[in-house]
Amino acid sequence: MKIIIYKIGFDWLPMSLAGLYIYNLRHLQHHIGQLTERLKTSNAIVITWQ
Protein backbone atom coordinates (compact mmCIF):
# COMPACT_ATOMS: atom_id res chain seq x y z
CA MET A 1 0.00 0.00 0.00
CA LYS A 2 1.41 3.38 -0.99
CA ILE A 3 0.92 6.27 1.41
CA ILE A 4 1.08 9.74 -0.11
CA ILE A 5 2.32 12.60 2.06
CA TYR A 6 0.70 15.93 1.22
CA LYS A 7 2.31 19.24 2.09
CA ILE A 8 -0.08 21.20 4.29
CA GLY A 9 1.92 24.38 4.59
CA PHE A 10 4.07 23.44 7.59
CA ASP A 11 7.52 21.88 7.19
CA TRP A 12 7.42 20.61 10.77
CA LEU A 13 4.07 18.82 10.35
CA PRO A 14 4.13 16.46 7.35
CA MET A 15 1.30 13.92 7.36
CA SER A 16 -0.95 11.87 5.14
CA LEU A 17 -4.35 13.07 4.03
CA ALA A 18 -6.05 10.77 6.56
CA GLY A 19 -3.77 12.13 9.28
CA LEU A 20 -4.72 15.66 8.27
CA TYR A 21 -8.43 14.86 8.63
CA ILE A 22 -7.89 13.38 12.10
CA TYR A 23 -5.70 16.33 13.13
CA ASN A 24 -8.38 18.80 12.02
CA LEU A 25 -11.17 16.89 13.80
CA ARG A 26 -9.21 16.84 17.05
CA HIS A 27 -8.41 20.55 16.70
CA LEU A 28 -12.09 21.34 16.14
CA GLN A 29 -13.05 19.17 19.12
CA HIS A 30 -10.60 21.15 21.28
CA HIS A 31 -12.14 24.50 20.35
CA ILE A 32 -15.70 23.22 20.78
CA GLY A 33 -14.68 22.14 24.28
CA GLN A 34 -13.30 25.61 24.99
CA LEU A 35 -16.49 27.25 23.76
CA THR A 36 -18.63 24.91 25.83
CA GLU A 37 -16.58 25.68 28.94
CA ARG A 38 -16.94 29.43 28.41
CA LEU A 39 -20.67 29.17 27.90
CA LYS A 40 -21.07 27.05 31.03
CA THR A 41 -18.98 29.33 33.25
CA SER A 42 -20.75 32.48 32.09
CA ASN A 43 -24.16 30.87 32.71
CA ALA A 44 -25.14 32.06 29.25
CA ILE A 45 -26.54 28.67 28.33
CA VAL A 46 -27.12 25.31 29.95
CA ILE A 47 -25.70 22.48 27.90
CA THR A 48 -26.86 18.96 28.64
CA TRP A 49 -25.26 16.00 26.91
CA GLN A 50 -27.50 13.06 26.32
pLDDT tens-digit readout, 1-50: 777 666 665 677 777 777 778 888 999 999 999 988 888 888 777 767 66
Contacts for 8 with CB less than 8 Å, ≥ 6 apart: 14, 15, 20
pLDDT at 29: 95
Question: CB 23: neighbour CB atoms within 10 A?
Answer: 13
Distance CA 23, CA 49 (A): 24
Which of these, 3, 8, 12, 2, lies nearest to 20 by C-alpha position? 8
Domain boundaries, the chain: 5-41
pLDDT at 50: 66
